Structure 1
Amino acid sequence: MRILVLLLALGVSLVACSQPLPQTPSPRPTVDFDAPRVIYYLAPPDNVRGLLNDAAALANGWTQATSWSQLRSDALTKHPEGIVVDATQLEAMSDDDRKWLRAQFDDGVVVASVAANFDQLARAINTPTLLHENEQPLRDPTQLYIVVYEYLSGTPEDIARSARQYPDASKTRTPGIVTGKTQGGSGRSQGSLDNPQEFQVLFWQLNMTIDSVRQQRAEFNARGEFEPLYEITTDKLETFVSYSIVNGVTYFDVFGPNGIGSAHIVRTRGEMPKQITLRFFLKGLESLKFSYDNTQIQVSVSSSGDHAVIESMHQGTSTEEIPLNSTSEFWMPTEIVSQNKTIPLQDGYFQVELPRAFFESGAREFEIEWIDFYR
């Protein structure tokens, strides 16, 4: 099982031998959550990789650079939060460029490669390997994107203490290391530039990870230490769940490449929010089980017709399923958010709100299990 903390739920953990633990993402006087994310796209002009082109990059707010010197110059005035690099630019890197990119990576900047293989990206961030033992890449690298991130939060003394106490962490980038006031996380994910859904996930992964680092900086600046809001455990390495807070609403975004998965979510400190919304980035949602205390609610979105939503629940040891309607305190409002609401979804997500009964119960944790389509 996999324990990920805060928003860090992008994918499988890094394998990075003989590298020092990263330094704390640089504290900054204030963190503006409403400011546009600063993502640089380093690629030749008019570059096309699958669905990624200059227009798509611009539409998602990326700033384009065509050389390492331009990127490093621009970064002096506008500090990067994410850097996306085309394979041609990875091959053109100097040793100085590699040191600079590694420094950004250690500072909490999300790094992504486009049309490059794992070895190319590993060399670029001065890491021996990004692959697990015996892992064999299955994708065509010319249509592959890879996203990697890591950070460790704490005082320099706490970070040094963590490195001494958990020496293996510097080799495996183990997520969720907690040593007193120190908290860390790392991850790796990949997708196809040709697949519309996986292509959209690229932008979500970058944005959500950047938001997580922003939140970490804000909390660290406020208290000088890091305490996670949520502990998230997923059943598979490739399943990832991230959260964000917008206008008082907490959103959990769920990504599961194979369409079947589960996650256990625990509020670790502070009061529970008054509204929580789940967003499932799946092609279908024929089954969702939401469990807390002794209650389990079943949600099913029909894959045909008008995509009717059917809900039921049972409590305790009872096996009797009680049908629900929208007037019930256990009802979970569910809708498809997509330009084209035809299932299987080609874009968008299934949005499910937690029921009133959950918040009235005082529960501080819950579990979700989902299936896109019954096999």
Structure 2
Amino acid sequence: MAGHRAFLILMILSIGCTNAVDEPRFSITTKRDDDKVEFQFRADTTVISVHSPFGISQTVIERIDEKWPDTVTLRLHLKALENFQITNGNVTLHAAVSSHTDDQMVRQWKDSKEDSPLDSKSPFWMEVRMVGKDGESMTTIPLQDGYFEILLPRAFFDDNPKSFTVNWIDFYR
């Protein structure tokens, strides 16, 4: 009888521990020990927040599930973003936000071809926003307690890569 009771309790606990909303699962590898990666899930959207105290680093994000969520957004909690690179092994996307002018221009290019910038018509175009701690858009660098929000293009995931690697530099030193 005690064995059945223990089995019943174990079954109830295991049901309570299942993932009711089927949140995507990922494996994370960071270059630096003090980097922190957090996830937020909403419907078919995954927001990946990266905190990098040093400001120069890398993370590898590998999917455990069969496919990537429909929408993936990165939030890089940095003061600036002078260099951004994301690769899935087949495609490499780059971005840079100017930090030395009053106009925070965002430049984007693909596969190290900086002389061939992407425009908003490209399937690999990334929406890049500077966001303050209040959630409002920012226009000045350095960001104070804000982040760079990057909506990754669906075309980046077309071949359903197993993982992608993100590299960033806040300020060149």
TM-score tier after normalising by the smaller chain length: 0.7 to 0.9
1:302 maps to 2:65: no
Letter in 2 for 1:364: K
* Post-superposition CA distance 1:270-294 (Å, at most 9, x none): 3211110000111111110010122
2:46 is equivalent to residue 265 of structure 1: no
Q: How does 1:211-250 map to 2 (within 5 A)?
A: 217-219=17-19, 229-250=25-46
Contact 1:334 1:352 in 2 (8 A): yes
Q: Which amino acid is 1:358 matched to?
A: F
* CA deviation after TM superposition for structure 1 residue 29, in Å: 6.8
Within-5 A mapping of 1:62-73: none
Q: Which residue of 1 aligns with 2:126?
A: 332
8 Å CA contact 1:274–1:359 kept in 2: the answer is: no
In the alignment, the residues of structure 2 paired with residue 361 and residue 325 of structure 1 have an alpha-carbon distance, to the nearest angstrom, of: 22
State the match for 2:154 in structure 1.
Answer: 356
Deviation at 1:349, TM superposition (A): 1.0
Q: Percent identity?
A: 37
Amino acid at match of 1:332: M
Q: Which has the higher strand share?
A: 2
Structure 2 length-normalised TM: 0.80
Q: Choose which of 298, 305, 311 in structure 1 pairs with 2:108.
A: 311
Cα pair 1:229 1:270 within 8 Å, conserved: no
Asked whether the 8 Å contact 1:332–1:355 carries over to 2, the reply is yes
Compute the RMSD of aligned alpha carbons: 2.5
CA distance in 1: counterparts of 2:122 and 2:148, whole angstroms: 21
Distance 1:358 1:310 in 2: 18
| Cα offset, 1:28, TM superposition | 8.5
| Aligned counterparts of 2:66 and 2:91: Cα–Cα separation in 1 | 23
* Cα deviation digits, residues 317-372 of structure 1 (max 9, x gap): xx644311111011111011124532111132110011122122222310000000
The gaps in structure 2 that reach 5 residues or longer are 1-12
- Count of residues paired in the alignment: 156
Structure with bigger gyration radius: 1
Structure 1: any 5+ residue segments left out of the alignment? 1-26, 31-216, 223-227
Moved over 4 A (4+): 27-30
Are 1:323 and 2:117 an aligned pair? yes
Letter paired with 1:361:
D
Residue of structure 1 equivalent to 2:78:
282
1:218 deviates by 3.8
State the structure with bigger RCO (CA 8 A, min sep 6), 1 or 2.
Answer: 2
Task: Provide TM-score, normalisation by structure 1.
Answer: 0.39
